[in-house]
Amino acid sequence: MDTDWKEKVIVAAIDFGTACTGCAISYKADYLKKKENMITPYWHSGGSLSNTKTPTVLLLHKDLSFKSFGFVAEEDFADIATDPDSNIADWHYFRYFKMKLYDENKDSKIRLQSTVTDQMGREINAMHVFSTSIKYLKYKIMETIGDTFLIRNESDVYFILTCPAIWSDKAKRFMRLAAEKAGIANDHLRIGLEPECAAIFLHNVTMPDLSAFGNETFDMKEGDAYMIVDMGSNQL
């Protein structure tokens, strides 16, 4: 049986996107004061620039060990590609690899032996690519929690990993296994459907006034309605 997230000091969510990935961290004491209270790890790009999301890009060494993720992976690979002393074939670079899992999901072919292709078209085990990415995201979350709240015990954290609503049970199981391989305990993890997470958030927070002239906020009341539109990735 899953551990109740309400027993945990921290709830941390990973939005593992097709094009970009982000994380959000909710500290229980802050959540009880105001449900919108949360922090997001920042990802640095181009020196001093930072963003709450980073590209879903992974760079691995020749032996498939981790090198970098996100903006850093893009910058590292650009340096490798332009360095005459570097051999690009000694590296494995992955972009938009979540789409391969989606393609196999449509055909119900997802399995532990499924593969994704790197920049040279080489087939690499998808479970290794996904779990390595999630492991780094977990590290990023724990680093942020440690720096912000001085909490370093993973048992105090409950993780949420989002998945598209259209994914099959096999695909969700694949992501759960990848998270478990990344070091997230099965009873400290919940798979959340992306539109359901958005709906729950909107249902529990104070909505902004949608009027162009308004600067007010309003609470959802019985009979009120809202529409959630998932624009998806620009990589089709």
For the chain, 236 residues long, the average pLDDT of each consecutive 10-residue run is 69 93 92 84 76 95 97 96 95 90 61 87 96 97 92 91 86 92 94 87 67 58 77 56
Q: In the chain, helix, strand, coil percent, each to 5?
A: 35, 25, 40
Residue 42 lies in a domain: yes
- In which element (H, E) is residue 142 found? helix 126-149
> Domain for residue 229, yes or no?
no
The whole domain housing 125 covers 5-218
pLDDT of residue 197: 86
pLDDT of residue 104: 59
Residue 54 lies in a domain: yes
pLDDT confidence of residue 216: 60
Q: Is residue 107 situated within a structural domain?
A: yes
**Rounded CA separation 124/132 (Å):** 12
The pLDDT, as a whole number, for residue 107 is: 55
* Closest residue by Cα to residue 132 from 48, 57, 44: 57
Task: State residue 69's pLDDT score.
Answer: 97
Amino acid 235: pLDDT: 47
Which pLDDT belongs to residue 1? 41
φ/ψ region of 188 (left if φ > 0, alpha if ψ in -120 to 50, else beta) reads: alpha
Q: What is the pLDDT of residue 178?
A: 95
CATH code of residue 105: 3.30.420.40
The pTM (predicted TM-score) of the whole model is 0.86
Structural domains in the chain (count): 1
In Å, the largest CA–CA distance within the chain is 65
- For residue 117, the Cα-to-chain-centroid distance in whole angstroms is 20
Q: Do the domain assignments include residue 235?
A: no
